[in-house]
Amino acid sequence: MVEDDHAMRDLIVEEIADRGYTVLGVPNAAEARQRLEALDVDVLITDINLARDDGISLCREAVGADPELPVIIITAFGSLQTAVEAIRAGAYDYLTKPLSLEALSLAVERAVGLRTLREQLTALRIQARRQANRSRLDGTSAPIARLRESIATVGATQATVLIRGESGSGKELVAHEIHDRSSRAHKPFVAENVAAIPPDLLESTLFGHVRGAFTGATHARQGLFRKASGGTLLLDEIGELPLDLQPKLLRVLEERVVRPVGSDDVVPVDVRLLAATHQDLEDAVRAGRFREDLFYRLAVIDLLVPPLRDRGGDILLLAQRFLEQTAARLGKEPPALHHQTAARLLGWGWPGNVRELRNAMERAAVLASDHLVRPCDLPARMADAPERLSRVSPSVDADLLLPLAEVEQRHVLRVLRSVDGNKAEAARLLGIGRKTLYRKLETWGLHLGQSDPMSVD
């Protein structure tokens, strides 16, 4: 806290310290620069008018040295020009006097949350960059790490692979990754969605046709299997393959030949087949919609792509990456995630998985202001969702991603539990006055005489 007015500085330091922060107050910019260089500071608060210096210059220098440092500027002379200067200097927030201590405390809380989130995202990005061979599958969570290991093993073989997972979870990326890890990586990778092809054209699309095979067949067609010769063919939504075509696909897998529509001859093919589906093919087999022999031929190797909701901190890593990609296309600076936005992303169920997250972040990158994605920038169904952080990967310290008020509440209640609810002893251990502790408990809806204040955790 940089303020040349001694009384004002002490008042602000005391107020912020009462909120559970460690606060250092200094009287001028010169001492602030020394402290910033020597200490690991999470938030800088500075008055705009300082003796022989100004807070705008200090802000500009501090942000230049540490672009992730949130700076809160306070001034007694609020004007649009001053606000613009503060924002241009890199200020995170701008408050005018007469100062509301409650507003300042909330600004500090938001700034600390943003700082913590940025550090966590940086750590996640560093971990992701360390992944061997720069996988297409971004993420550091345990489920995605296990999938990556399986892909590395499977990729070195020629086995047919069935890739299962919910819609939007990244099954085609997994197929690409298998192809990239195989000896066929320098050959074609061809992907087609079976459900997107009209049934009357599906056989021709897969196996090709000769000229004159049917009305409109004015030219011969290779078909997907021959187009992918030497490489890999992915048939997505394989569960939609009509029953009458399933034995023909089975023959291709077993004999490695295709018969183009209208031809009496077969053509050898050298293709590795990957199939993907979001359906339960075992159920389809039991219901008679899918051949059992084809199912077992496809599922030589069976890979499951984890849903996004089970990938914890990967959600934030992917969100920031999608923001950066969209911002690059728009020619603007990529915005960061507000900590409340991160909480909503981590708590959302993601029925549309990675595809849904990408679309949400593209929207947010367009709507975000002040280089910060707030909950209001998310689709309405997410913006109104409760904040839950229980889905963070075990490799991520969940407390680092919690809103600061919740971190404080949890810590105070843990201390109370450790002293069997003795509030005087708890206040002493926390380094705050007993009245301050009582006020916090009241704020959290815990009555002073409540026998078990630890029950709210």
- Domains in the chain with CATH codes: 6-99 (3.40.50.2300), 142-305 (3.40.50.300), 309-399 (1.10.8.60), 403-455 (1.10.10.60)
Contact status, residue 332 vs residue 374, Cβ threshold 8 Å: no
Q: Give the model's pLDDT for residue 135.
A: 64
pLDDT band at 123 (very low <50, low <70, confident <90, very high): low
Q: Give the model's pLDDT for residue 400.
A: 44
Chain mean position to CA 378:
13
What is the full DSSP assignment across 125-174?
A: HHHHHTSTT--SS---SHHHHHHHHHHHHHHTS---EEEE--TTS-HHHH
Residue 105 CB neighbours (<10 A): 17
The greatest distance separating any two alpha carbons of the chain, rounded to the nearest whole angstrom, comes to 97
Measured in degrees and rounded to the nearest 5, phi and psi for residue 250 equal: -60, -40
Q: What is the dihedral of CA 191, 195, 196, 202, to 10 degrees?
A: 80
3: amino acid identity, one letter:
E
The pLDDT > 90 percentage for the chain reads 41
Structure tokens at 326: 């969209």
**Helix residue ranges, H only, 181-238:** 199-207, 224-227
The predicted-structure confidence for 339-360, as pLDDT tens digits, reads as follows 888 888 988 999 999 999 999 9
Q: Give the model's pLDDT for residue 433.
A: 78
The pLDDT of 225-246, averaged and rounded, is 94
The predicted-structure confidence for 399-450, as pLDDT tens digits, reads as follows 444 445 566 777 788 788 778 778 888 887 777 877 778 777 877 766 444 4
The pLDDT of 141-149, averaged and rounded, is 90
pLDDT band at 452 (very low <50, low <70, confident <90, very high): very low
243: amino acid identity, one letter:
L
List the beta strands (DSSP E) in 173-242.
189-193, 232-236
Q: Give the model's pLDDT for residue 127.
A: 54
> Mean pLDDT for the chain?
84
The predicted-structure confidence for 247-262, as pLDDT tens digits, reads as follows 999 999 999 999 998 8
Q: Give the model's pLDDT for residue 404.
A: 54
pLDDT at 128 over 70: no
The predicted-structure confidence for 7-28, as pLDDT tens digits, reads as follows 889 999 998 999 889 999 999 9
Instruction: Report the relative pairing of strands 161-164 and 301-304 from DSSP bridges.
Output: parallel
pLDDT at 116 over 70: yes
CA distance 179 to 183: 8
Give the range among 117-126, 196-205, 315-324, 328-337 with minimum mean pLDDT: 117-126
The pLDDT of 42-52, averaged and rounded, is 88
Closest CA to 385 of 336, 338, 343: 343
Q: Give the model's pLDDT for residue 290.
A: 96
pLDDT at 331 over 80: yes
List the beta strands (DSSP E) in 203-356.
232-236, 257-258, 267-268, 272-277, 301-304, 336-337
Closest CA to 285 of 275, 293, 274, 276: 293
Overall size of the chain counted in residues:
457
pLDDT band at 108 (very low <50, low <70, confident <90, very high): very high
Q: Give the model's pLDDT for residue 343.
A: 84
Measured in degrees and rounded to the nearest 5, phi and psi for residue 193 equal: -95, 115
List the beta strands (DSSP E) in 32-138.
44-47, 49-50, 53-54, 71-75, 93-96
Q: Which residue has the higher pLDDT, 50 or 407?
A: 50
User: In Å, how far are 37, 62, 124 from 66, measured between CA atoms?
Assistant: 10, 6, 19
224-255 residues labelled b (16+ CB within 10 A) or e (exposed): bbbbbbebbbbbbbbbbbeeebbeebbebeee
CA distance 106 to 68: 19
CA distance 258 to 266: 5
Residue with token string 């969100």:
319
The pLDDT of 315-320, averaged and rounded, is 90
